[in-house]
Homo-oligomer: A and B are copies of this chain.
Amino acid sequence: MADGEGKGAGKARVAEELASSLREQIVDGAIGAGDALPSERELAAKFEVNRSSVREALHRLEAVGLIEMKHGGATRVRDVLVSAGLHLLPFLVARGGRLDPAWLRDVLEVRVMFLSWCGEQAARRASADDVERLEAIAHELVEVHSGQRRGGAKALMSLDWDFFAALVAVTQNRVLALLTNVVREVHTRDPAKFKAIYEDGAFEPKHLVRAVDAVRKRDAAGAALAMRAHGEGALVALFPPNARGKR
């Protein structure tokens, strides 16, 4: 977030460009955890930018836990998995212009957990208005999916996100709201990448309809199961079961 705006060919700020370059090298392992980065002065010379800009770029990387700057000592790369925050997710999942299958799978797995839990909590806390709102989105999804309304995969993806966001709102859990902001980053950074999920026939609005029904009846377990099924649809479609259980 914040530093988003990853528009294709837009003019990027100098600092963001440098940060992006370094981030890529680190994420791809070209620099490696524990290694020391060149000094700020060296980087400034190499990239032909001012040291201030270098510092700004480095600070961005430090903010997400990618590097560690120590006064007097060298600036070193940290181990992504033990120090980086979720802000890095978008860059890990969509690295080098392609989706990384391993990371995508991990994301989809966690997504199943989220969806299931959101369903459960929503069933406990939804007001009549909330149910109505969810139902409206689910209804639209069914129409688009069945072809009664146009829009195709793009519309499905957008509506599916709306449903998820609405569900999160219903849970009234603000930690989940923050988490959703991060997920949105992954989701919207490059929507085209995820379109496949909605094109392979993996998307099935029926689970969402079931979930809405369960929420209306305050059936927490039922809502959880329905949302879990929804999430596993995408997971199974992209990672067939016969390959599961082993990693």
Instruction: Choose from B103, B175, B177 the contact partner of A175 (Cβ within 8 Å).
Output: B103
Q: How far is the CA of A1 from the CA of B62 in the complex (A)?
A: 9
Closest chain B CB from A166 CB (angstroms)? 14
> Given A178-B84, A181-B85, does the pair A64, B2 have CB atoms closer than 8 Å?
yes
Residue A154 at the chain B interface, CB threshold 8 Å:
no
Contacts of A177 in B (CB 8 A): 81-82
A182 to B89, CA, bound (A): 13
Alpha-carbon separation in the docked complex, A89 to B173 (Å): 13
CB A16 to nearest CB in B, in angstroms, measures 11
Kindly list chain B residues whose C-beta atoms are within 8 Å of the C-beta of A125: 247
A40 at the interface (CB under 8 A from B): no
The answer to whether the Cβ of A63 comes within 8 Å of any Cβ in the partner chain is yes
- Asked if residues B83 and A86 are in contact (CB atoms below 8 Å), the reply is no
> Known contacts A83-B181, A181-B82; is A103 also within 8 Å of B174 by CB?
yes
Q: A59-B59, A113-B113, A175-B106 are in contact. Are A2 and B181 (CB under 8 A)?
A: no
CB of A247, distance to nearest CB on chain B (Å): 6
Q: Are B86 and A182 in contact (CB under 8 A)?
A: yes
Return the CB mask of A37-52 against B: 1 if under 8 Å, else 0: 0000000000000001
Nearest-neighbor residue (CB-CB) of A103 within chain B: B174
Note all chain B residues with C-beta closer than 8 A to A83: 1-2, 181
Q: How distant is the Cα of A81 from the Cα of B147 in the complex, in angstroms? A: 35
Is A110 in the interface zone, CB < 8 Å from B? yes
Q: Give the distance to chain B from A162, nearest Cβ to Cβ, in Å.
A: 14
Q: Is the CB of B87 within 8 A of A87?
A: yes
Cβ of A107 under 8 Å from chain B: yes
Besides A84-B181, A172-B247, 19 more A-B contacts (Cβ < 8 Å) are: A1-B85, A2-B62, A56-B56, A59-B59, A63-B63, A63-B87, A81-B174, A85-B85, A85-B87, A85-B181, A86-B178, A86-B179, A87-B87, A88-B178, A102-B174, A107-B175, A109-B121, A109-B173, A110-B173
